[in-house]
């Protein structure tokens, strides 16, 4: 099977992967609606790939799209943008590296190079959440979840 690339550095498989969904047999996780694939593509084209290009280092997506059963199973927010393919969690391997990435993304935004809906420091940089609305206005919110 050929891997569908959304951008040069991000594939659809990467944005759908979930050990929890695999273990629990949530097959719908790996066959999302076309609207979700469209949103994931926009997220990668408008945010993830430009950040990756500017940062110059690979970024690991620890969570992209989540089907409803997966989101519930992991305790995700009921209205999470992961449900629509508009969000990704990034993990660079350490809190320090995640904080560096967060600050780098914020700097790109301050320079007017990217916009986002939300950029969230999750649990003292355990990971970085970033989202982009395919339709409507992106709020450019910078938040911290404790």
pTM: 0.95
Q: Token digits for 105? A: 């993304």
Task: Quote the pLDDT of residue 3.
Answer: 77
* Residue 77 pLDDT level (bands cut at 50, 70, 90): very high
Residue 131 has pLDDT above 70, yes or no: yes
Residue 97 has pLDDT above 70, yes or no: yes
What domain range includes position 34? 5-145
Burial of 45 (0-12, 13-18, 19+ CB in 10 A): middle
Closest listed residue to residue 86, CA positions, set 21, 52, 36: 36
Instruction: Residue 120: give its domain's CATH number.
Output: 3.30.1380.10
Rounded CA gap, 132 and 125, in Å? 20
H/E element holding 40?
A: helix 34-43
Rounded CA gap, 38 and 6, in Å? 9
Residue 1 has pLDDT above 60, yes or no: no
* Residue 125 pLDDT level (bands cut at 50, 70, 90): very high
Q: Could you tell me whether strands 141-145 and 118-122 are parallel, antiparallel, or unpaired per DSSP bridges?
A: parallel
Count of domains forming the chain: 1
3-state SS class at 8: coil
Segment 42-46 mean pLDDT: 97
């Amino acid at each position: 099977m050929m891997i569908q690339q959304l951008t040069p550095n991000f594939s659809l498989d990467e944005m759908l992967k979930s050990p929890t969904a695999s273990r629990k047999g949530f097959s719908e996780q790996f066959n999302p609606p076309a609207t979700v694939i469209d949103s994931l593509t926009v997220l990668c084209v408008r945010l993830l790939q430009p950040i990756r290009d500017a940062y110059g280092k690979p970024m690991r997506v620890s969570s992209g799209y989540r089907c409803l059963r997966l989101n519930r199973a992991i305790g995700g927010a009921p209205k999470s943008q992961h449900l629509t393919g508009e969000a990704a969690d990034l993990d660079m391997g350490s809190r320090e590296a995640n904080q560096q990435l967060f600050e780098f993304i914020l700097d790109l935004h301050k320079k007017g190079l990217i916009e986002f809906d939300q950029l969230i420091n999750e649990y003292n940089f355990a990971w970085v959440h970033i989202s982009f609305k395919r339709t409507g206005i992106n709020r450019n919110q910078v938040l911290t979840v404790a």
